Amino acid sequence: MEDSICPLDYRYGRSEMKTIFSEEGRTRYQMKVEAALARAHASLGTISMSDAEEIARVALTDVVDLDRIKEIEKETNHDLMAMVRAMTEQCRGDAGKYVHLGATSNDIIDTAAALQIRSALEIIQDDVDELLYTFATVAKRERDTLEMGRTHAQFAIPITFGFKVAGYIAEMIRHRERLSEAAPRACAGKMSGAVGTGAALGKNSGRIQILVMQDLGLTYEPAATQVVGRDRYTELICLLANIATSLERYGTEIRNLQRSEIAEASEPFDAKKQVGSSTMAQKRNPINSENVTGLARIVRGFVIPTFENQVLWHERDLSNSSAERFTIPHVFILLDEMLLKMNRVFLGLEIHADRMLQNIESARGLIMAEPIMMRLTEKGIGRQDAHEIVREASMAAASRGIDLREALLEMDCVRNAMTEEEITSVMNPANYTGSAGETVDKMVSAAEELLGRRILP
C-alpha cells in the first residue's frame, strides 16, 4: 500500500475491529438503519410493507455499489445523501421514494455509530474476559511465589507475585463492570429529525423512534438536538482510555521487573528466531509492554478532542464530525490491539522465582524491620519506641553493611524482649505475607464467577 500513512493501515489492528470502522462497514451499518426506518414507517402504515421490504433488500445486500456512492458524493459533497440516492437508484417500483423518509442525516449517522460501538464493545469485552482469565491463571499458579514488595522504587516488605496479579484482576473486573454499565448509554441512536423535534416524521415521530431502536436493539436519545448527546461519547472514550492506562500500568511493571538489575520476570521471547537488537545480539527487550505503553499515550490523546466535541453551536454544527472519524475508530482499534498484546505477554510470562529470592536476600533483613517492630509492641514496648529501636538498628546495619538481625542482637532492649530464635523466625520473609494468599484465592474465585469458567491449576 504505497499511499498508506496511518500505522493502522499496515501495522496495528486486526481485521475484526477494522471491518467495523471501515468505510464499507460504516456504510453497511447506515443502510441497516435506513431499512429499520422503512420498517417502522410500514408498521405504522406510512408506507406499504412491500416498499419497506424492497428498501431492506437494497440495504441488507450488496446491491448498492460503494463506488457509485463515491461518484454521487463528488457531485453532492454530502456522503450520507450520496448513499441515500444510491439506494434509491436500486429500489424497484416506487420504494425509492420512501428511502430516508422524515429523517435527517444524523438520525442515520448517529444510530449507525451506535451499532458500530455495540459491535466494537462486544470485541473489547471478550478481550477483557480473556485477559481476566489469563491474570487469574497466573495469580493462582504464582500464589505463593515470594517476591520483594516495593514502594517509591525501594525495597518495602515481602509480597507474592500472585498477590501482585490479584490486584490486576480486581482492576479488570471493575473495568468489565464499567463496560456493562456504559454500553446502554454509549449505544444510543436517534430518529427525531433536523433539530430533534421529529416534525418531518409527523404525529407518530416518537413511536417511529422507539420502533427503529427496538428493531436495532439500541437505546435512544430522549431529548435530542440534531445529534445524540456527545456526553455519551465522552464517557465511552474516557472509559476506554482508562482501560488503556491500566494496561500501560501492567506493561510498565513488566518492563521494570525485566530490568537487568531486577530480572524477576520477562516477556516471552523466541530464542530460536526472535531478534532483540540489530547490533546487540544478546538483547531481550520488553517490546510488547513498551508498545502497549506507547499506544496508551495515543489513546489518551483522543480524550481531549472528545471533550471538545461535546460543545456544539445551538442544535448542532459540523465541528465534531471530522474529529470523530479519527477518535472513535482509533481508540477501539488500538485498545483491541493493546488487550491482545498484554494477554500474550502474561500468557507466556517467564517468572524468575530464584531471582526474586536473591533480591530479597540482598536486602540483608532490612525489609523485615516492620515485623520486628510489631513483635516488640506485642512484648509490651510502645509502638513509637519500637519504631525508634528498629530504625536505629536499620540505620546501623545499612551503614556497617551487616544484616539487620546482627544489629538487633547487639541491642540489649531487643535481646531482653525476644530470643535469638524468635528474631530469626520473625525475620523469615515467608512468614510475613499477611493475607496475600487469601486475597489471591478471593480474586481468582471472583474471576471464575464472573467468567463462568474454572481457572485450571
Annotated catalytic residues are: 152, 277
The residue written with cell numbers 517492630 in the block is 373
The CA distance from 6 to 10, in Å, is 8
State the CB neighbour count (10 A cutoff) for residue 4.
Answer: 10
> What are residue 160's DSSP bridge partners?
146
- What letter would DSSP give residue 349? P
- DSSP result, 108-121: HHHHHHHHHHHHHH
The residue type at 129: D
Residue 64, all three cell numbers: 448498492
DSSP state of 219: E
- Beta-bridged to residue 148, according to DSSP, are 158
DSSP output for 151-192: ETTEEEEEEEHHHHHHHHHHHHHHHHHHHHHHHHHHSEE---
CA angle 321–325–331, rounded 5-degree value:
130
- Is residue 350 within 8 A of residue 265, CB to CB? The reply is yes
Reference 70, options 62, 59, 57, 79; nearest CA is: 79
- The C-alpha cell that represents 162 in the structure block: 500472585
**CA terminus-to-terminus distance, the chain:** 46
Backbone phi, then psi, for 350, in 5-degree steps? -95, 120
Where do we find the cell 441488507? Answer: 60
Q: Which three cell numbers stand for residue 317?
A: 454544527
CB atoms within 10 A of CB 202: 14
